[in-house]
Amino acid sequence: MEALSIRIFAFIFFISISGVCISSDEGSGDEYSFEHVSTQDLLFQAYEDDLESQYQLGLRYENGRGVPKNIKDSLYWYRTAAKRGHVNAKFRLGVLYVEHAVLFRKEGQIDISKKIYGIGIEWLEDAAEEGHSKAQAKMDGLK
């Protein structure tokens, strides 16, 4: 009976570990699939050119999850991942640029606003062309 209990436990453990791996692979969305990873470990991995870690750092800094909210740092990590092809980083980068362009416009800095907005649109178009559904919807909403 004890051997059967051990086998059942091992099977359940294997299934739960497999589920974690699957959800990590799917973790290219806006969800926090790396929430269990310390920011220090993410930074180490990001500096080792791990795209998903760079993206996850962008999310953390954008939303202040486990780190102080810092849009400048968020933009840095999104841009780093986006330049290397991370489609969700392209999307978030585009959204942030478009949103901040509106802030500059409200402050009367129209030229800066147009430039930032244009950069945001380029990143959103790039993500949309790669099939990112949220980027496609955002682009449809901006037209």
Which among 84, 103, 119 is the end of a domain? Answer: 84
Answer yes or no: is 44 within a domain.
Answer: yes
Integer-rounded Cα Rg, in Å, for the chain is: 19
Residues 6+ apart with CB under 8 A from 82: 89, 90, 93, 123, 126
Confidence bin at 4 (pLDDT 50/70/90): very low
Answer yes or no: is 123 within a domain.
Answer: yes
| Mean pLDDT (whole number) for 30-56 | 86
Answer yes or no: is 13 within a domain.
Answer: no
Task: Name the one residue in this structure whose structure tokens are 């780190």.
Answer: 67
Q: Which has more pLDDT, 124 or 105?
A: 124
| Segment 62-121, tens digit of pLDDT | 999 989 999 999 999 999 999 999 999 999 999 999 988 876 666 677 777 888 889 999
Structure tokens at 123: 């990143």
Answer yes or no: is 95 within a domain.
Answer: yes
Q: CA-to-CA distance for 128 and 130, rounded, in angstroms? A: 5
Answer yes or no: is 18 within a domain.
Answer: no
Full residue range of the structural domain in which residue 143 is found: 87-143
* Sign, Cα dihedral of 63, 133, 135, 21: positive
Q: Cβ distance 63 to 69 under 8 Å?
A: yes
Answer yes or no: is 139 within a domain.
Answer: yes
Identify whether residues 102 and 140 lie together within a single domain.
yes
Write down the pLDDT at residue 142: 83
Domains: count for the chain: 2
Write down the pLDDT at residue 44: 94
Confidence bin at 20 (pLDDT 50/70/90): very low
